[in-house]
């Protein structure tokens, strides 16, 4: 009997030791689905896990095209991740489910060691708390083919700076016969179209979709109509089928020389290296062209990590992972998963040798600097007032900016008619 008790007690002790020594697991959802980004994120998580045997970060790849539906369903079913990648408007969408955890202590800890680039941090502070930790920023610039400009008799070192100049360049490229379609424009009801439309709204001083009252929609105004009218002019210079284009089709058209220009984020630098045999010097970059009475600007996304569990052990493990990730050498390796696309969120990374050491960034330093400078003027709809608008998640989840564009390009409405319908659809979205 004593032997049975002893053996049983030993088994219980061993079970307790095993339970105590098991690592804290953190399931991490991210939407960086391109293979080279998936590989780098896994590589960094593996390194962290090896250096922190008491914690295991488990990255799982998702899709931006599905996440607005998949994440709420998984969270409500109790199968959501412990933390996940977010952009500010997506965070407001998930926060409505009541699972996003405030991160004030962690942000304060990081601020004691690092100097944040404020535009990356501000969108995550509302309702008296910080709700995510920024990890990188991204914005739009004008990419253009210097080789095709030169063939068309255009100065490859003088990209268009205004809307009128951009239209003139489009016409000259087309009449030159070098390209049939001068510029690639996404037109699907998708985030890619949202981002371009809003960039045009920003430079035309139409950045406010909401009024001071969070339930006031001011989308239907002359400045917004002008931005959509200009979008339609660019769309008419884009290849057939552009009403179904998202991110990949403009990339392919640009890299193959079907078009000579596109307005997009910094992933075109690595994309050029991976998809063409042409010298990187042929890839030109410039700030987004602005109207005559407009303002410098771009859409700017601060991508962050939000915590979705209130488990104390997991919370501490998450904080440990973030503090490790924020080291300039480690963070630079994360940003280098797509050099020039992902922009630093701290001064320590921005001015570090580690960030600027990447060979692609070294060769395209001027383009990266343009993106960094443009981010100073970056804006994001729903985050242009002193307080964050809680309704923005419903607008972005429905891709209503892109839906409005299709009322012009597919349904044949005038820009004014389309914008009026877009405002009505926004009202419907926030009333639900």
Running DSSP on this structure, what letter comes out for residue 326? T
| Helix (H) or strand (E) segment spanning residue 379 | strand 378-379
Q: Give the predicted TM-score (pTM) of the model.
A: 0.89
Q: Do residues 85 and 315 make contact, with C-beta atoms less than 8 angstroms apart?
A: no
In 127-179, where does DSSP find H-type helix?
146-151, 163-176
> Coil, strand or helix: which one is 295?
coil
Q: Do residues 264 and 143 make contact, with C-beta atoms less than 8 angstroms apart?
A: yes
- Confidence band, pLDDT 50/70/90 cuts, at residue 2: very low
> Coil, strand or helix: which one is 80?
coil
> Coil, strand or helix: which one is 378?
strand
pLDDT at 165 over 90: yes
Q: What is the Cα–Cα distance from 33 to 70, expressed in whole angstroms?
A: 15
Q: pLDDT of 260-294, one tens digit each? A: 999 999 999 999 999 999 999 999 999 999 999 99
Q: pLDDT of 225-241, one tens digit each? A: 999 999 999 999 999 99
pLDDT of residue 387: 85
Q: Do residues 342 and 138 make contact, with C-beta atoms less than 8 angstroms apart?
A: yes
In 77-221, where does DSSP find H-type helix?
88-95, 104-111, 118-121, 146-151, 163-176, 191-203
Residues facing residue 306 across a β-bridge:
84
Instruction: Compute the average pLDDT of residues 1-29.
Output: 61
Q: What is the Cα–Cα distance from 185 to 157, expressed in whole angstroms?
A: 23
Taken in order of first residue, the domains within the chain and their CATH numbers are 22-137+302-368 (3.40.190.10), 141-299+378-431 (3.40.190.10)
pLDDT at 11 over 90: no
């Amino acid at each position: 009997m004593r032997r049975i008790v002893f053996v049983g007690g030993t088994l219980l002790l061993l079970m307790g030791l095993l339970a105590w020594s098991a690592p804290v697991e953190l399931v991490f959802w991210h939407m960086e689905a391109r293979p080279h980004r998936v590989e780098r994120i896994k590589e960094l998580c593996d390194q962290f896990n090896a250096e922190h045997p008491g914690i295991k970060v488990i990255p799982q790849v998702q899709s931006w095209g599905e996440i607005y539906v998949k994440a709420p369903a998984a969270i409500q079913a109790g199968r959501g991740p412990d933390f996940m990648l977010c952009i500010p408007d997506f965070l407001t969408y998930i926060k409505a489910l009541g699972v996003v955890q405030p991160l004030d202590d962690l942000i304060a800890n990081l601020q004691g060691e690092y100097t944040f680039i404020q535009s990356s941090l501000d969108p995550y502070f509302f309702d008296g708390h910080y709700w995510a930790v920024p990890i990188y920023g991204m914005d739009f610039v004008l990419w253009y083919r210097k080789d095709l400009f030169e063939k068309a008799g255009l100065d490859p070192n003088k990209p268009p700076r205004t809307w009128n100049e951009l239209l003139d360049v489009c016409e000259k490229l087309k009449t030159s016969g070098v390209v049939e379609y001068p510029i690639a424009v996404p037109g699907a009801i998708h985030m890619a179209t949202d981002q371009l439309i809003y960039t045009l709204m920003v430079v035309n001083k139409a950045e406010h979709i909401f009024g001071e009252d969070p339930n006031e929609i001011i989308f239907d105004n002359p400045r917004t109509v002008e931005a959509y009218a200009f979008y339609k002019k660019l769309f008419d210079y884009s290849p057939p089928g552009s009403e179904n284009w998202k991110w990949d089709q403009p990339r392919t058209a640009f890299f193959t020389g079907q078009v000579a220009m596109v307005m997009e984020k910094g992933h075109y630098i690595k994309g050029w290296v991976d998809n063409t045999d042409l010298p990187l010097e042929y890839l030109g970059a410039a700030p987004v062209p602005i109207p005559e009475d407009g303002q410098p600007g771009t859409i700017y996304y601060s991508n962050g990590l939000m915590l979705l569990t209130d488990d104390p052990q997991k919370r501490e493990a998450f904080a440990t992972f973030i503090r490790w990730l924020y080291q300039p050498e480690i963070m630079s390796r994360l940003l280098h998963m797509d050099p020039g696309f992902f922009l630093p969120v701290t001064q320590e990374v921005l001015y570090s040798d580690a960030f600027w050491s990447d060979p692609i960034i070294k060769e395209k330093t001027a383009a990266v600097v343009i993106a960094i400078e443009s981010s100073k003027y970056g804006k994001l709809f729903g985050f242009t007032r002193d307080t964050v608008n809680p309704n923005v998640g419903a607008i972005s989840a429905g891709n209503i900016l892109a839906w409005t564009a299709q009322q012009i390009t597919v349904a044949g409405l005038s820009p004014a008619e389309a914008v009026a319908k877009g405002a009505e659809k926004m009202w419907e979205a926030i009333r639900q």
